A and B are shown apart, each in its own frame.
Chain A
Amino acid sequence: MTIQREQVEADVLIVGAGPGGLSCALHLANLIEKHKASGAKSELSAENIYVLEKGREIGAHQLSGGIMDPKALAELVPDFEKTAPLDTPVTNDGVYFFRESSAWRLPITPPPLANEGNYIISLNKLVKWLGGLVEKKGVNLFTQFAGKELIYDGNRIAGVITDDKGLDKNGKPKSNYTPGYELRAKVTVLSEGTHGSLTKEMVNRLKLDGLNPQEYGIGIKEMWEVPAGRIETGSVAHTMGWPLDSDMYGGGWVYSMRDNRVSLGMVVALEYANPQFDPHEHFQKFKTHPFVRRILEGGKLVRYGAKTLPYGGWYSMPRNYVDGAVIIGDSASLLNAQRLKGIHTAIKSGMLAAETIFEALKAGDTSAKALKPFKEKIDQSYIKEELWKVRNFHQAFHGGLWKGILNAGLQYVTGGRGLVDPMRSEAGYERYAKRSGNGTLRDQSTRFKGDGNLTFDRLTDIYHAGVRHEEDQPCHLIVAEPDICSSRCVREYGNPCQYFCPAAVYEIVKDGEGSKLKINAANCVHCKTCDIADPYQVINWTVPEGGGGPSYDGM
């Protein structure tokens, strides 16, 4: 049966209401407003801009450390300092090297990690505020609607189909069934954030890959409320070393916010060799380091979250414009891996996309040729200036921490060139050490459980992520070859899905003599790690029914 979908037409359709997508909407609405105020006759209207957001409300799926360089926001909303929910300016920052029970502070903070003039923010709150500004302009903002599928007219992107609502576990319509809408647009903006599911499909289908495959890290975060006086508000600490080995890329952070709140977490590149490495467990261990414990002890966990981040940088950038669409923000690999920042580049890229789209709409041409100025604007902006200097940064660490520091130092003095330029890389999942092929199921009951005060197991943590999905719906995690788990993966890699997932979604359970995969899809925090880190690349993360997912209040 073919599904009859309702069609809606828009000028611009933005998929994902994060900092990039909302900035694009706001800037475009502003441009249209100015254009009309100047007396120009125009068909353009903010009402013909549509924004889709899969979260329950604006900001629900926003997760960041989060330090923000405010320069792009200052361009978008010049009086932002008066109106935006900026938690606190950074007052001091330090970089520490951890050993199991000691911390050594680097005598100077390396300039890229210096945060003077930046703010520690809750990205959730900032994006909610930005959403409010966008709505005021008359833009149509649809929360609880996900972009499920791209509409192609040949090689042209003609819009998206939103998620079907009211399907049961087996894909059969329930009484509340509503088929997804067919949203057609002259320009579609893919601002899905890290490893977007539509972006992934489009980049593969239209062969838009950059020079290097994209590389990712997983970030795991907890928000704590600690007893007063533990740490000065606005202080920022970044850590290297323990509990990560020196052959791994990653580190921890502790940011102190207002009202005795502390944002802390750990980022680990998804390119480690041990397939049974557990990022969540290592983050829990990180909290037991005296430096961190001293701050947290006696406090309480308020919120938890996890999300991947694209590390690849300039050389992993896909082509970001095609007929009828552009890609912005994290989806377009615009995060600065050296500075660990991507909010400002997401905002800036959203604005540059808006300027390009505005001109294209006025000219009545939204072909790839008409959207190419987006790429050129990025090249001429501080986005490229920033990313070009660090184009080999993450790749420099592929030989481990010490070589990496050396390489990065060389790159720093040579404007990013270093010894080899471009440094090539492989996808992270190709770096697992394959076992001899006779691995067996590891007992899961001995997994890290935490003490329930300072450290937690994954189930307790995800309870604090506020995850909720409609229970009776088709599984949104599509495993192309589920047999591979018991036939090959257990022997070759020891089922890494059980370890890399920070939300205990993947479980290998006994099945007679063998084993089988059980997917607890309702736990999913939408971090995309599984799609990225699965060694056989058979997991496809697709969007669940709109409205499902975590609730990152205050994160």
Chain B
Amino acid sequence: MKILVIAEQRQGKWNNTSFETLAAAQQVVAATSGIVSAAVLGKGVAALAEELATKDVAEVLLVEHELLESYTPDGYCAVLKQLIESAKPDLVLFPHTYQVRDFAPKLAAILGKGMVGDCVGFRNEDGKLVFVRQMFQGKAAADVTFTGAAPWFASFQSGAFRADLLAAGKGQKAPVKAVKVELKPEDIRTKPLELFKEAKSAVDLTQAPLIVAIGRGIKAPENIAKAEALAKVLGAELAASRPICDEGWLPMERQIGSSGQTVAPKLYLALGISGAIQHVVGMKGSRTIVAVNKDQKAPIFEIADYGIVADIFEIMPALTEELQKTKAAKA
């Protein structure tokens, strides 16, 4: 069996699952027979191809093209179609990455072939290759085989095989073969923009020494600015009880309580929070709790160190103003 592993790189950096998949391919060959080749796509990735050549593979196919600098599903599919048609592998293996999830099913469909995604293992059953994949969130394992003619497509889940079991080449390096492909700009219907990393949640409420938290008493999203102003002058983080985040007035990561964060700051200023048990379990460990609420029977007062029975819309600006004065006096 001729196996082709499509290794994944992005901006010259390997996705490590590629090595796991290459190791898997070696194991498939060991259990059956045949050879493993590897392919790497991109622009200026010859060094990566050389690196693959040190592994125990028959050859490394290097596909370089100007338009492969950034990943596009159209570009990858067009190029891999040509590569597969010329190299004629029986089995094409991918690491099951987000990128592969994006283009591999499409590629298989273009070639009219089946694809078994996200496999965690394989077996050789009397010469028939059986892939194992998880179902029902890992509660069941399904055996899958291919019925149609080769080439077959499969991807392996990250962590299913060990990259450190990847065998290095014996003696000589494997040949690196540059493969010429046709790719025109009009083949690619999408335009990749600049890569970005999703900003990690900027706020870590569990580390905040001071927290100003708002509840239903804030009434409307436009009033949040008033609480923000108070938080700012205090140097505190803004947090909220569930209804506020539920309405989308503040992001989920600022929610305190049983379905949000658990915090224990030095000061917890609860504004217009009634103190339902679901909220209290997330903040009762705070060193000092100050609560402002119109309803003197609100349960928040049972755990508050200081309670103010008042309208938060009177307290918030007054407190902000006082703090500003104090600050100004100090400065």
Task: Enumerate chain A interface residues (CB-CB to B < 8 A).
Answer: 6, 8, 140, 142-145, 165, 178, 181, 445, 449, 452, 459-460, 463, 468, 471-472, 520, 522
A6-B135, A463-B277 in contact; A142/B297 too (CB < 8 A)?
no
The answer to whether A471 and B259 touch across the interface, beta carbons within 8 angstroms, is yes
The answer to whether B246 and A520 touch across the interface, beta carbons within 8 angstroms, is yes
From B140, B252, B278, B299, give the contact of A452 (CB < 8 A): B299
The answer to whether A471 and B136 touch across the interface, beta carbons within 8 angstroms, is no
B135 contacts across to A, CB distance below 8 A: 6, 8, 181
Whether B13 sits at the interface, judged by CB under 8 Å, is no
Give Cα distance in the complex from A254 to B50, angstroms. Answer: 77
Give Cα distance in the complex from A445 to B278, angstroms. Answer: 18
From B139, B140, B252, B258, give the contact of A463 (CB < 8 A): B258
B295 contacts across to A, CB distance below 8 A: 445
| Closest Cβ neighbor of A169 among chain B residues | B248
10 contacts between A and B (CB under 8 A): A8-B135, A140-B140, A144-B137, A165-B137, A445-B295, A463-B258, A463-B281, A471-B259, A472-B252, A522-B259
The answer to whether A145 and B136 touch across the interface, beta carbons within 8 angstroms, is yes
The answer to whether A460 and B277 touch across the interface, beta carbons within 8 angstroms, is yes
The answer to whether A459 and B276 touch across the interface, beta carbons within 8 angstroms, is yes
The answer to whether B136 and A142 touch across the interface, beta carbons within 8 angstroms, is yes
Instruction: Bits for B47-78, please: 1 = Cβ < 8 Å to A, else 0.
Output: 00000000000000000000000000000000
Give Cα distance in the complex from A468 to B259, angstroms. Answer: 8
Give Cα distance in the complex from A99 to B241, angstroms. Answer: 41
A181 contacts across to B, CB distance below 8 A: 135-136
> What is the distance, in angstroms, from A86's C-beta to the closest C-beta of chain B?
29
> What is the distance, in angstroms, from A9's C-beta to the closest C-beta of chain B?
11
Give Cα distance in the complex from A145 to B135, angstroms. Answer: 11
Give Cα distance in the complex from A445 to B274, angstroms. Answer: 11
Beyond A143-B139, A178-B137, A463-B276, 14 extra complex contacts between A and B, CB < 8 Å: A6-B135, A140-B140, A142-B140, A144-B137, A145-B136, A181-B136, A445-B295, A452-B299, A459-B276, A459-B277, A460-B277, A463-B278, A520-B246, A522-B259
| Closest Cβ neighbor of A140 among chain B residues | B140
> What is the distance, in angstroms, from A519's C-beta to the closest C-beta of chain B?
10
| Closest Cβ neighbor of A523 among chain B residues | B278
> What is the distance, in angstroms, from A515's C-beta to the closest C-beta of chain B?
15
A140 contacts across to B, CB distance below 8 A: 139-140
A463 contacts across to B, CB distance below 8 A: 258, 276-278, 281
- Give 8 closest A-B pairs by Cβ, nearest first: A459-B276, A463-B277, A142-B136, A460-B277, A463-B278, A142-B139, A471-B259, A145-B136
The answer to whether B277 and A471 touch across the interface, beta carbons within 8 angstroms, is no
Instruction: Bits for B133-173, please: 1 = Cβ < 8 Å to A, else 0.
Output: 00111011010000000000000000000000000000000
Q: In B205-220, which residues have CB < 8 Å from any A CB?
A: none
B276 contacts across to A, CB distance below 8 A: 459-460, 463
Q: Which of B142, B252, B276 has the most CB of A within 10 A?
A: B276
> What is the distance, in angstroms, from A84's C-beta to the closest C-beta of chain B?
25
Give Cα distance in the complex from A471 to B253, angstroms. Answer: 12
Please, how many residues of chain B have a CB less than 8 angstroms from a CB on the other chain? 18
The answer to whether A449 and B297 touch across the interface, beta carbons within 8 angstroms, is yes
| Closest Cβ neighbor of A162 among chain B residues | B136
Give Cα distance in the complex from A452 to B302, angstroms. Answer: 11
Give Cα distance in the complex from A144 to B278, angstroms. Answer: 24
| Closest Cβ neighbor of A6 among chain B residues | B135
A142 contacts across to B, CB distance below 8 A: 136, 139-140
Give Cα distance in the complex from A168 to B167, angstroms. Answer: 43
Give Cα distance in the complex from A144 to B142, angstroms. Answer: 18
Give Cα distance in the complex from A522 to B278, angstroms. Answer: 12
> What is the distance, in angstroms, from A365's C-beta to the closest C-beta of chain B?
28
> What is the distance, in angstroms, from B145's C-beta to the closest C-beta of chain A?
15
A143 contacts across to B, CB distance below 8 A: 139
Instruction: Bits for B292-303, please: 1 = Cβ < 8 Å to A, else 0.
Output: 000101010010
B139 contacts across to A, CB distance below 8 A: 140, 142-143
| Closest Cβ neighbor of A461 among chain B residues | B277
B299 contacts across to A, CB distance below 8 A: 452
> What is the distance, in angstroms, from A317's C-beta to the closest C-beta of chain B?
33
Give Cα distance in the complex from A449 to B299, angstroms. Answer: 10
A459 contacts across to B, CB distance below 8 A: 276-278
Give Cα distance in the complex from A288 to B17, angstroms. Answer: 63
A520 contacts across to B, CB distance below 8 A: 246
A445 contacts across to B, CB distance below 8 A: 295
B142 contacts across to A, CB distance below 8 A: 8
Give Cα distance in the complex from A165 to B259, angstroms. Answer: 19
B277 contacts across to A, CB distance below 8 A: 459-460, 463
Give Cα distance in the complex from A537 to B212, angstroms. Answer: 42
| Closest Cβ neighbor of B260 among chain A residues | A471
Give Cα distance in the complex from A181 to B136, angstroms. Answer: 8
> What is the distance, in angstroms, from A160's C-beta to the closest C-beta of chain B?
13
| Closest Cβ neighbor of B139 among chain A residues | A142
Give Cα distance in the complex from A144 to B138, angstroms. Answer: 12
| Closest Cβ neighbor of A469 among chain B residues | B259
B136 contacts across to A, CB distance below 8 A: 142, 145, 181
> What is the distance, in angstroms, from B146's C-beta to the closest C-beta of chain A?
16
| Closest Cβ neighbor of B294 among chain A residues | A445
| Closest Cβ neighbor of B245 among chain A residues | A471
> What is the distance, in angstroms, from A159's C-beta to the closest C-beta of chain B?
15
Give Cα distance in the complex from A142 to B141, angstroms. Answer: 12
Give Cα distance in the complex from A520 to B259, angstroms. Answer: 13
A449 contacts across to B, CB distance below 8 A: 297
Give Cα distance in the complex from A351 to B137, angstroms. Answer: 30
Give Cα distance in the complex from A534 to B200, angstroms. Answer: 43
Give Cα distance in the complex from A163 to B15, angstroms. Answer: 32
B278 contacts across to A, CB distance below 8 A: 459, 463
> What is the distance, in angstroms, from A111's C-beta to the closest C-beta of chain B?
43
Q: In B241-273, which residues have CB < 8 Å from any A CB?
A: 246, 252, 258-259
| Closest Cβ neighbor of B142 among chain A residues | A8
> What is the distance, in angstroms, from A488's C-beta to the closest C-beta of chain B?
25
Give Cα distance in the complex from A8 to B139, angstroms. Answer: 14
| Closest Cβ neighbor of A445 among chain B residues | B295
Give Cα distance in the complex from A472 to B253, angstroms. Answer: 12
Give Cα distance in the complex from A539 to B303, angstroms. Answer: 38
> What is the distance, in angstroms, from B282's C-beta to the closest C-beta of chain A?
12
Q: In B276-323, which residues have CB < 8 Å from any A CB?
A: 276-278, 281, 295, 297, 299, 302
A8 contacts across to B, CB distance below 8 A: 135, 142
> What is the distance, in angstroms, from B243's C-beta to the closest C-beta of chain A?
8
A460 contacts across to B, CB distance below 8 A: 276-277
Give Cα distance in the complex from A423 to B146, angstroms. Answer: 61
> What is the distance, in angstroms, from B28's C-beta to the closest C-beta of chain A?
23
A165 contacts across to B, CB distance below 8 A: 137
> What is the distance, in angstroms, from A3's C-beta to the closest C-beta of chain B?
13
| Closest Cβ neighbor of B248 among chain A residues | A169
A178 contacts across to B, CB distance below 8 A: 137
> What is the distance, in angstroms, from A443's C-beta to the closest C-beta of chain B?
12
Give Cα distance in the complex from A468 to B252, angstroms. Answer: 15
Give Cα distance in the complex from A394 to B74, angstroms. Answer: 66
Instruction: Bits for B89-102, please: 1 = Cβ < 8 Å to A, else 0.
Output: 00000000000000
A459-B278, A460-B276 in contact; A471/B252 too (CB < 8 A)?
yes
A145 contacts across to B, CB distance below 8 A: 136
Give Cα distance in the complex from A460 to B279, angstroms. Answer: 11
Give Cα distance in the complex from A143 to B140, angstroms. Answer: 11
> What is the distance, in angstroms, from A178's C-beta to the closest C-beta of chain B?
8
Give Cα distance in the complex from A181 to B134, angstroms. Answer: 12
> What is the distance, in angstroms, from A473's C-beta to the closest C-beta of chain B?
13
> What is the distance, in angstroms, from A469's C-beta to the closest C-beta of chain B?
9
Give Cα distance in the complex from A545 to B11, angstroms. Answer: 38
A472 contacts across to B, CB distance below 8 A: 252
